[in-house]
Amino acid sequence: MELILVNLIDGLVTGLLLFMLSAGLTLIFSMMGVLNFAHASFYMLGAYFAYQISIALGFWMGLLLAPIIVGVLGAGVERYGLRRVHQYGHVPELIFTFGLALLIEELVQFIWGKNQMPYNVPEILNFTAFSIAGNSIPAFKIFMIFVSVGIFVGLLFVLTKTRVGMIIQAALSYPRTVEALGHNVPLIFMGVFGVGTALAGLAGVIAGPVLGTFPGMAFVLGSIVFVTIVIGGLGSLWGALVASLLIGWLTTFAKSYNVRMEDILNGIGFSTPENMGESALRDLWTITSPQIADILPYILMVLILIFRPAGLFGKRHQ
Partner 1 sequence: MTDQITTDPSKPSQRMRAGSMTITVLPWVAGAIALAVMPAIFTSNSALTIMNQMWITVVFALAYNMLLGQGGMLSFGHAVYAGVGGFACMHIMNMSDFFAAMPLPVLPIFGGLFGMGMAMIVGSFSTRNAGTVFAMISLGVGELIAACSVIIVAFFGGEEGISGDRTYAMPFFGNEFLQQIDVYYLTSFWVLVSAILMYLWSRTPVGRMANAVRDNPERAEFLGYSARWVRFYSFTASGFFAGVAGGLFAINYEILTEENLNTASSGVILLVTFLGGVGFFFGPIIGAIAFTLLQTVLSLQTELWAFYAGVLFLATVMFFPGGLAGLLMMHVPVFKLGHARSLVMPYLKTLLPAAIGLLGLAALVEMTFHFRHAALGDDEMTVFWTTFDTHTILPWIIAGVVTLVGLGIARATAPSLKEAWSAANTAPPVTTAKGGAA
The least CB distance from residue 138 to partner 1, in Å, is 29
Contacts of the segment 300-306: beta carbons below 8 A, 24+ positions apart: 300/227, 300/231, 300/246, 300/247, 300/250, 301/227, 301/230, 301/231, 304/230, 304/231, 305/230
Q: Which of residues 214-273 bind partner 1 (CB under 8 A)?
A: 219, 223, 226-227, 230, 234
Q: Which segment (63-71, 98-106, 134-142, 198-206) binds partner 1 by CB under 8 A?
A: 98-106
Using the rule CB under 8 A, which residue among 250, 252, 301, 313 binds partner 1? 301
Q: Considering beta carbons, is residue 234 or 246 the nearer one to partner 1?
A: 234
Using the rule CB under 8 A, which residue among 2, 55, 110, 128 binds partner 1? 110
- Rounded-to-integer distance, Cα 26 and Cα 81, Å: 20
DSSP-based three-state secondary structure for 47: helix
The helix (H) or strand (E) run that includes residue 130 is strand 128-132
Q: Which of residues 74-93 bind partner 1 (CB under 8 A)?
A: 81, 84-85, 87-92
Question: What secondary structure does DSSP assign to 131-188, as a single string?
Answer: EETTEEEEHHHHHHHHHHHHHHHHHHHHHHHSHHHHHHHHHHH-HHHHHHTT--HHHH
The least CB distance from residue 14 to partner 1, in Å, is 17
- Rounded-to-integer distance, Cα 138 and Cα 214, Å: 22
| Count, residues in the chain | 318
- What backbone phi and psi angles, to 5 degrees, belong to 119? -95, 110
Please, are residues 117 and 214 in contact by the beta-carbon 8 Å criterion? yes
| Distances, alpha carbon 187 to alpha carbons 83, 91, 178, 179, in Å | 11, 23, 12, 11
Q: Considering beta carbons, is residue 1 or 111 the nearer one to partner 1?
A: 111
The least CB distance from residue 298 to partner 1, in Å, is 4
Using the rule CB under 8 A, which residue among 61, 136, 164, 283 binds partner 1? 283
Using the rule CB under 8 A, which residue among 16, 100, 221, 250 binds partner 1? 100
Q: Considering beta carbons, is residue 271 or 318 the nearer one to partner 1?
A: 318
Cα 195-198-200 angle, rounded to 5 deg: 115
Q: Considering beta carbons, is residue 144 or 190 the nearer one to partner 1?
A: 190
Using the rule CB under 8 A, which residue among 8, 107, 125, 265 binds partner 1? 107
Among residues 32, 37, 77, 29, which one has the least CA distance to residue 222? 37
Q: In DSSP terms, which residues pair with 288 in a beta bridge? A: 260
The least CB distance from residue 236 to partner 1, in Å, is 14
x-or-dash pattern for partner 1, window 172-211, by CB under 8 A?
Answer: ---xx-----------------------------------
Q: Which segment (33-41, 52-60, 192-200, 206-214) binds partner 1 by CB under 8 A?
A: 33-41
Q: Considering beta carbons, is residue 100 or 199 the nearer one to partner 1?
A: 100
DSSP-based three-state secondary structure for 259: coil
Residues that bind partner 1 (CB under 8 A): 29, 33-35, 81, 84-85, 87-92, 94-96, 98-100, 102-103, 106-107, 109-111, 113, 175-176, 219, 223, 226-227, 230, 234, 280-283, 287, 291-292, 294-295, 298-299, 301-302, 305-306, 309, 318
